[in-house]
A and B are shown apart, each in its own frame.
Chain A
């Protein structure tokens, strides 16, 4: 399919807007940012159907799935989405994060974020100023992926 794929070496990430979210600039920005930080990014674009996200993640076994949403349905739709994704065997242990503007009334007191985490997101980035924290996560995942990818040391 004709997605914006950018080259590079591992680790790999799938990036997508949830089914009802038509915004693109957030996805383009994250794609560029992650590419610059050494990730290979497959940007599925806005309004990604759940089945496409499931199929693409089975195909490329990403080290990270990033859901970015700013239309205000992120909290409600994000819960449905993560439940669907976590039902898939190949996505049970994949790091999946969600971020953007998640509610229609601005960031909340934290209870909705807790529910999103409890439902299966590894991390939640709500509202402005979250990029540095997202970068920290990317760094730690990249080191983790690199360790896993390197050959096991000889034990004898």
Chain B
């Protein structure tokens, strides 16, 4: 498609340059989740993101029909005037997307495409054709929780997409790819496994030619554990990603969100403190509308500004080492030792249960691991399955009843709404 025959997109400042400039000035970059099927609304959303009183990166979230390759359903929805839950990037004329990007000041204002697809070729082609070169996901993180595709097929397609994206380097660009691996199922996963998966995905991206990556970490249920997790992630990146540009992105809590505006703001402030205090460069925010519906542009801007202000007061914090870094390192090396090819190593690791995401229903996941949560929200392994780890000596009972699961899933909502 366009990379071979179309006009070469203008090369501007890269995603990485923008992030490292902000980092040098100790500014946390904040970013919304945002996608509208209407181009006018999408343009307004990007503009408002840029204009927010914060250092921001724009987001185009793709709708979930496009994510699953149901382009026929996109056509029907657009024809019937049904609003989608995101921007149908692969169905909109790339010229329209380019015009929109020009109007909002891309590439000086970086824009990342967010999609959630285990089979993302069409989305990668569409974003390249529209002149974009920053996106996210990964062969594991967008396959296991989000699709039924066999893992080895997702690995093969993601390898192809990485190479397509990396080819933009020939035009002088520095395309960026973020691993979503630190957010597997969003909650109830001990941080060691999240860190291992996101670092392994970053190594997979590097193997396929990407030189600018980010690794992710989802805020969960205990602030100290999260802070230690972010710092452990940074330490392991410094060890293992020595020849690529990297940064850490933190995700504001992805589970059952506080329903009160006060609770929602407070957990977002905690996420900003986690990101900035832990040394992450970027934060994906959530809004006060999260528990109720997809947020408006205004609610997103409010969240961006609130998070930026909360981060400004934070200084780096050291926390005691409970062993998260060692656990993650053990998992990473166990997987890497299985095969020199990172993709094949990932497939073998899941087949043997060396990686096993708790509560994930995908056929290629063993689902032999379970977790438990202490009263203060600290997450532990209740059963390590075949993970190459020794189980926690002290463990609370596993979450095996609907009431227990609901209690754990609503831990954050309860603590913040009641606070």
> Which A residues lie at the B interface, using CB under 8 A?
1-4, 19-22, 24-25, 27-29, 32-33, 36, 43, 45-49, 52, 71-73, 76-77, 80, 101, 103-106
On whether the beta carbons of A45 and B361 are closer than 8 Å, the reply is yes
CA distance A101 to B290 in the complex (A): 12
Partner of B361, one of A20, A36, A46: A46
Q: Contacts A32-B402, A47-B68; is A4 near B293 (CB within 8 Å)?
A: no
Partner of A20, one of B65, B83, B145, B185: B65
On whether the beta carbons of B84 and A4 are closer than 8 Å, the reply is no
Q: Which residues of A lie under 8 Å from residue B116 when comparing CB positions?
A: 22
On whether the beta carbons of A22 and B146 are closer than 8 Å, the reply is yes
Query: B-side binding surface: helix, strand, loop or mixed?
Result: loop
**B322, CB-defined interface residue at 8 Å:** no
**B319, CB-defined interface residue at 8 Å:** no
On whether the beta carbons of B85 and A72 are closer than 8 Å, the reply is yes
On whether the beta carbons of B68 and A46 are closer than 8 Å, the reply is no
CA distance A71 to B61 in the complex (A): 13
Please name 11 further chain A to chain B contacts, defined as beta carbons within 8 Å, in addition to the given A33-B402, A104-B293, sorted by A numbering. A4-B361, A4-B367, A21-B64, A24-B185, A25-B185, A28-B361, A29-B406, A32-B400, A32-B405, A72-B294, A104-B294
Q: Contacts A3-B361, A46-B145, A76-B77; is A20 near B64 (CB within 8 Å)?
A: yes
CA distance A20 to B74 in the complex (A): 11
On whether the beta carbons of A24 and B360 are closer than 8 Å, the reply is yes
Q: Which residues of A lie under 8 Å from residue B367 when comparing CB positions?
A: 4
Q: Which residues of A lie under 8 Å from residue B77 when comparing CB positions?
A: 76
Number of B positions contacting A (CB below 8 A): 35
Q: Contacts A24-B359, A32-B405, A73-B64; is A47 near B294 (CB within 8 Å)?
A: no
On whether the beta carbons of A32 and B401 are closer than 8 Å, the reply is yes
On whether the beta carbons of A101 and B293 are closer than 8 Å, the reply is yes
Shortest Cβ gap from A105 to chain B (Å): 5
Q: Which residues of A lie under 8 Å from residue B70 when comparing CB positions?
A: 19-20
Partner of B146, one of A4, A28, A47: A47
Q: Which residues of B lie under 8 Å from residue A2 when comparing CB positions?
A: 363
On whether the beta carbons of B64 and A28 are closer than 8 Å, the reply is no
CA distance A20 to B65 in the complex (A): 6
**B67, CB-defined interface residue at 8 Å:** yes
Shortest Cβ gap from B258 to chain A (Å): 13
Q: Which residues of B lie under 8 Å from residue A76 when comparing CB positions?
A: 77, 82
Q: Which B38-85 residues have a C-beta within 8 angstroms of A?
A: 64-65, 67-68, 70, 73, 77, 82-85
Which residue of B has the minimal Cβ distance to A105? B293
CA distance A25 to B411 in the complex (A): 14
Partner of A106, one of B293, B359, B405: B293
**B187, CB-defined interface residue at 8 Å:** yes
Shortest Cβ gap from A22 to chain B (Å): 4
